[in-house]
Amino acid sequence: MKGRKSLLVSRYKVSKKERRELASRIALQVSEAAARLLEGDVEVARLRHQKFGGLIILKGVPAFFFYGERIYPTLLLIYRLGVDPGLPKVHVDEGAVPHVLNGADVMVPGITRVEGEVERGKEVLVVDPRGRVFAVGEALMTGEEIKEAGKGKAVKNVHYAGDDLWEIITKMF
C-alpha cells in the first residue's frame, strides 16, 4: 500500500500479568466465559484509528476490540473461532438488518425478541431473523424497557459486518 500509513501501530504478546488484567476486564465487561478464552498466547495490536483503539488477538484471530474504555467481542470471535461470548441477544426483523448494516442504531420497532438479561450500558449481540449475529452494540435500554417501549433507540451500534473494524480485521488477519 504505497503512500498509505499502516493502520497497525504495534503488535505484541502480552505478559502473564497483562493477560490476567485483560481477562479481569473482559469478565466484568463481557462475560466470565469470554474471559476464560484468554489462555495461552495472547497478543494486543494497537490501531491507528479514531474509533477503535486496539485488538486482543487469540489464536491469530482478532477476538476483542477496545472502544473507548470498553472491550467488546469482534464478530470474528463468533465466526472464525466459533465462540459465543455469552452476551444477551437482541433479535431484529428483516427490515432492520440493512439499516443496522449501514451503521444505524437498533430501534425498538425493529426488535422481535430479547434473549438473556439486557442491561443498560452493557454489551449485546444483534441477531438477524436467521439467527446470525451481525452486530455488537451497547444496550441503551433494559430488556424490560425494550419490551414496554413502542419507540426509541434500544441499542447503540458499535461494530457490524462491513464497518471499518470489519474491513481492517478481515484484511489484516
57-116 pLDDT tens trace = 999 999 999 998 899 999 999 999 999 999 999 999 999 999 999 999 999 999 999 999
**Pairing assessment for the beta strands 8-13 and 42-47 based on DSSP bridges:** antiparallel
Residue 2, pLDDT > 50, answer: no
- What is the rounded distance in angstroms from the CA atom of residue 136 to the CA atom of residue 159? 5
Instruction: Return residue ranges of the chain for CATH 3.10.450.120.
Output: 8-84+163-172
Residue 15 identity: S
Alpha helices, H only, 14-163: 16-29, 32-35, 75-79, 97-100, 143-148
Domain with CATH 2.30.130.10 in the chain: 89-160
DSSP element (H, E) containing 39: none
| CB-based contact 40:17 (threshold 8 Å) | no
pLDDT for 1: 40
89-160 topology per CATH: 2.30.130
**Residue 5 confidence class, pLDDT cut points 50, 70, 90:** low
H helical segments located in the chain = 16-29, 32-35, 75-79, 97-100, 143-148, 164-172
**43 φ/ψ angles, rounded to the nearest 5 degrees:** -120, 155
User: In the numeric block, which cell numbers belong to residue 27?
Assistant: 469478565
Contact 118, 143 (CB under 8 A): yes
How many whole angstroms separate alpha carbon 140 and alpha carbon 138? Answer: 6
CATH topology of domain 8-84+163-172: Nuclear Transport Factor 2; Chain: A, (3.10.450)
